[in-house]
Structure 1
Amino acid sequence: MAVKTTIGTLVPNSNWLVENVPSPPVSRLLIEYLPTLPVGNTVGGKVLPPPKTTMEVIKKAVTIRNRIAHIGAKAPSDDTLDEILDAIQDTLWLLDYYCGHAWAYEHISNTTRQELES
């Protein structure tokens, strides 16, 4: 999981805990814990979670994944899948940016960057 990898990168002494202890849901990690981490780059001097619209899509993706895995629900539509993959991609670029890769910020979609910067 990219969020756990990011935590392990930014807080090296946490690797054992990150790898061996069950973690909270990914949405809680991104919203509540990510902003507390010592990052390599900030957005306007702050460590922000992914924007609300991105987080809503990520939460929807988790729900869809759970329904597929646990009750055999059908796969999402192509449009929904594209929306989910875009949100995940922006989140991964943001995590790379926070890990010190300044160039990663330019790969975040314009919409997500505007939401982060507003």
Structure 2
Amino acid sequence: MTGTVGKAMILAGACLLMAGPAFAEDKFAPPPNAFDPPAVKPKILPKSQQHDWTGFYAGVQSGASFGSANSRWSQDNTASPTFGAHAGYNYQFGRGLVLGGESDASAK
């Protein structure tokens, strides 16, 4: 490699080899800020304290329904309370997958 391009490539390679160790020591890193919050270390809880979604659940709900029907045979405006119940079961596999089923019923 002779000429200007060859000398430029050799000079660039030498600069890269010298720059690597200079940045490894963090001499050019900014000083720590006194107002930065402390670093948060994640806590790994023992198995007995980890949350588990496995189990049965049940509940009730209430609300209101509003509707209107305008047809050729009737004109109806209704408002009525609704009540219902729901129940289900979930099973947690490992630490991330939860599968389950739920059933519900509602009535006016």
TM-score by length of 1: 0.17
Whose strand proportion is higher, 1 or 2?
2
Highest Rg: 1 or 2? 2
Whose helix proportion is higher, 1 or 2?
1
Structure with the larger RCO, 1 or 2 (CA within 8 Å, 6+ apart): 1
